[in-house]
Structure 1
């Protein structure tokens, strides 16, 4: 899965996961293994797109790109096989350098805002982080244009009128540790600076570069990562 697109049909609020067939053959109704979860899935009603037109695909071969309806079970980077234990790499997340919080003009739209941000986060339009000690979602990006695109899409696709305000965060680093007890100590000591991403990974939110360096010096057993693969659960 290399792309997820929400609301391709505004009338039905659907989400499409785009897959490249890397080998073998797709046929409508086939059963596949979802490698990330280990669960079996049935693939049916795949489509291909030409401009705004959809065409149903009953068969597809290596090199073809198909779209399947996604109800949240598929993420970017997921691999579907006929049972083989295959994984692919090369779709990275980069640690964002810009962070904002969304402020609603209408507080009654809080649920729509959360749904919109989570779905746009799943498709990679921005990165969404849930702080451990705050219910306000953080939005991370590598460029200001991403915030403008998300602001427009929230209004057009979810009926949410929101403005983005800077969150005062310098950068983020995903954190792992081979010693679970030590990681738990780190989390307990740094709750106010930690958040979880869409895959449930811990991310350390540093307000300055100095703060990040101090954290790395104080916790030498903890690894701070500037990138991770889509769909990867670190640990």
Structure 2
């Protein structure tokens, strides 16, 4: 396919993640975007908790039961001549490693803030990762229909605590808890919102001129105008170059549960957010968008099709055009890879895709030879940087309660390991019957036991271990450390040798006793970034 066609198709793409602190309304916003793009007819959150339906993006049984997102999901839809690839992320800090993988596959992020809580710990860390990774961020202040902070106070938090300049594109008409509409700072007019029953359908919007807005909203409009003028005097206006460089963040005000402000967010993403750009390979060289096909796998997920127990490799296309059925090269495996089974995904639903372009996320079904971070390509060989693993802080042994189900248990552990749900550690001391699970957060263990029960009919027992940190060592050092109190050594499934310690004091003591051993921090895996949780 010609370069002009690839470039034109790439220019139509907007690939992003929605990220936030837990309970900021991320899944609700995800569905609101799909609703406004008219790819679903009714939002999942309807009429309060008693009548709450599961959202499109939360498809796992545990997600439906708990009302949280614990896995990332790809949603693709068209809107106003653009193709939107929305990669939803886990909403809980314990699954921040999955969030980090998603951020490696997007061109920008939408950061959701709770208008009453402002910047929370998870929000700060996510902003930091986006900033260090060069990912532009659009900020949405959500839940403005509820009592909350002063909008200027929220902007000051962003400016002072993240060192990124907020540049509001909309300004609320009405204080938090009395959300009536927004002043569009670029166009100068007012947008009045109209509630719908339970927020299940698209909210009505009426555009008012400044003169009419003064009559409709009264003092609330005058206060909004005063806020706008104050921002303009302070130079807090949108600058495209500063935004793309990650030095400013456009800000919009919304109430996702009521579908207020969602139209404005879609418009901003299509008009201002970046399309796919050249991506750096493992050597730091950019691969042009119109180069031959290349993609990398950022997620593996099983259990999406309960009838077939298949697993899907999510791949972000970086360059060229993907054509289903083509045989591409697998960098890590050094072998050809057939793409017969390729699909577009919309939550759990899927359909066969024949063509895809830079920015698109495709699902490669039953691609057992692919791993997280692997590269696929045509033409000149390329390898994209590996996706790092986080340093685990929680450890537990797991075993099958029913030994007759050991085959199913082992198959399930291997699958969850490949997905990156947890890290699996093994040693001759514990044997294959009781591998050790290593996790960033304890809820990962709950996902493992739940999925082993539901998908593999293997009931398990967890026994928590008294370790809190891990360090990379050389394989030959395992024998030297054997038998030391408060220390245990393992081999991770990728072949990495690890030593785990009860606490930092034990690590320091062992380091002094064995100065010839190098204990390498796993934080280096994330390029010295602070972990997301």
Task: Tell me whether the two structures share a fold, i.e. TM-score over 0.5.
Answer: yes
Higher RCO (CA-CA < 8 Å; seq separation 6+)? 1
By how many angstroms is 1:207 displaced? 2.7
2:405 aligned residue = 109
Q: Distance in 2 between matches of 1:172 and 1:100?
A: 13
Q: TM-score, normalised by structure 2?
A: 0.39
Q: 1:29 is matched with which residue: 321, 325, 345?
A: 325
Conservation of the 8 A alpha-carbon contact between 2:374 and 2:386: no
Runs of 4 or more off by more than 3 Å in structure 1?
A: 214-217
Matched, 1:187 2:482: no
What is the SS of the residue equivalent to 2:318?
coil
1:72 aligned residue = 368
User: Greater share of strand residues, 1 or 2?
Assistant: 1
C-alpha deviations, 1:102-156, integer Å up to 9, x for none? 2432222222222111211111111111124321210111112111121111111
Q: 1:149 is matched with which residue: 444, 447, 450?
A: 447
By how many angstroms is 1:191 displaced? 4.6
C-alpha deviations, 1:25-56, integer Å up to 9, x for none? 11122222211122222222200112432211
Q: Distance in 1 between matches of 2:368 and 2:467?
A: 29
Distance 1:21 1:167, change over 3 A: same
Moved more, 162-171 or 151-160: 162-171
Q: Please list, as runs of the form range in 1=range in 2, the aligned pairs for 1:3-18 lying within 5 A after superposition.
A: 3-18=299-314
Distance 1:204 1:84, change over 3 A: farther
Q: TM-score, normalised by structure 1?
A: 0.85
By how many angstroms is 1:97 displaced? 0.6
Q: Which runs of 5+ in 2 are unaligned?
A: 1-296, 527-533
C-alpha deviations, 1:4-42, integer Å up to 9, x for none? 001211121111101010111111222222111222222
Conservation of the 8 A alpha-carbon contact between 2:329 and 2:337: yes
What is the SS of the residue equivalent to 2:389?
strand
Matched, 1:58 2:354: yes
Matched, 1:134 2:436: no
What is the SS of the residue equivalent to 1:75?
coil
By how many angstroms is 1:83 displaced? 4.5
Q: 1:172 is matched with which residue: 433, 448, 470?
A: 470
Q: Distance in 1 between matches of 2:481 and 2:370?
A: 31
By how many angstroms is 1:213 displaced? 2.1
Conservation of the 8 A alpha-carbon contact between 2:300 and 2:313: yes
Conservation of the 8 A alpha-carbon contact between 1:35 and 1:80: yes
Conservation of the 8 A alpha-carbon contact between 2:471 and 2:519: no
Conservation of the 8 A alpha-carbon contact between 1:47 and 1:55: yes
Conservation of the 8 A alpha-carbon contact between 2:343 and 2:363: yes
User: Greater share of helix residues, 1 or 2?
Assistant: 2
2:280 aligned residue = none
By how many angstroms is 1:73 displaced? 0.9
What is the SS of the residue equivalent to 1:169?
coil
Moved more, 186-195 or 130-139: 186-195
By how many angstroms is 1:174 displaced? 2.1
Greater Rg over alpha carbons, structure = 2
Equivalenced residue count is 222
Q: Distance in 2 between matches of 1:31 and 1:60?
A: 15
Q: Distance in 1 between matches of 2:366 and 2:481?
A: 36
1:118 aligned residue = 414
Conservation of the 8 A alpha-carbon contact between 2:301 and 2:312: yes
Q: 2:385 is matched with which residue: 42, 66, 89?
A: 89
Distance 1:67 1:223, change over 3 A: same
Q: Distance in 1 between matches of 2:349 and 2:468?
A: 43
Q: Distance in 1 between matches of 2:342 and 2:316?
A: 12
Distance 1:34 1:225, change over 3 A: farther
Conservation of the 8 A alpha-carbon contact between 1:26 and 1:59: yes
